[in-house]
Amino acid sequence: MLDATGKKYSPLIPQDMTDELFWKDGLTPDDERLWVPNGPGRWSRPLCLNVSQGYWVHITKVTKAGVVSRHRHPAPVHGFVIEGKWRYLERDWVATAGSYLYEPPGDVHTLVVDEGDTMKTLFHNTGALLYCDENGKTIGSTDVFDRVKAARNHFEEVGLGTDFVKQFIR
Ligand code: FE
């Protein structure tokens, strides 16, 4: 590609570098089938499913009010709210468009979308979500491998093929 003065730039790619990812339609996929269902009124649009480092970056979309999940993480999570509104029952803040959050490893939180609200949030999840009961005891989990599996099954079901998920995997 050319810079403003017309100088040509080419990619400088070291041997063994993994392929980059670039989704021009990251927030609003050209194909609605890219939204992987994740419960009633909940979807996940994968951006990067990193099986070599155990994290996944995705956009969570919630269109139905209610408790999304109560969980904690063994590793850090970063979030950035793109649209809408949501909160954690354990906190007194409300996340709205433009909000950023860091979830420290260990914190138990209950994500809720209130009546009349919806949201889209980018999450960088590391490790896992450990679903918790009222006392913080682990009752289930999801990790990047579960996310790959769910996406693979969904993409296959909607006619995109079993290998479609591979473009998101690093
Ligand atoms: Fe969390």
How far does the centroid of ligand 1 lie from the alpha carbon of residue 33, in Å? 25
Would you mind telling me the total number of residues written for the chain in this entry? 170
Residues contacting residue 109 through CB under 8 Å, at least 6 positions apart:
70, 71, 72, 88, 89, 90, 91, 103
Closest CA to 169 of 85, 52, 50, 64: 50
Provide the whole-model pTM.
0.94
Question: In the prediction, which pLDDT does 59 show?
Answer: 98
pLDDT of residue 1: 87
- As a whole number of angstroms, the distance between CA 41 and CA 118 comes to 9
**pLDDT for position 45:** 98
How many angstroms is it from 109 CA to the middle of ligand 1? 6
The CA 129 to ligand 1 mean position distance, Å, reads: 7
Q: What is the pLDDT of residue 71?
A: 96
Q: How crowded is the C-beta side of 131, counted as CA atoms within 13 Å?
A: 8
Question: Which residues in the chain show pLDDT less than 70?
Answer: none
- Measure 11 CA to ligand 1 centroid, in angstroms: 36
pLDDT digits (tens, 9 = 90+) for 4-18: 999 999 989 999 999
Tell me, what's the pLDDT at 50? 98
pLDDT, residue 11, reads 87
Distance 145 CA to ligand 1 centre (A): 17
Taking a C-beta distance cutoff of 8 angstroms, is the pair 73, 126 a contact?
yes
pLDDT value at residue 100: 98
**85 CA from centroid of ligand 1 (Å):** 15
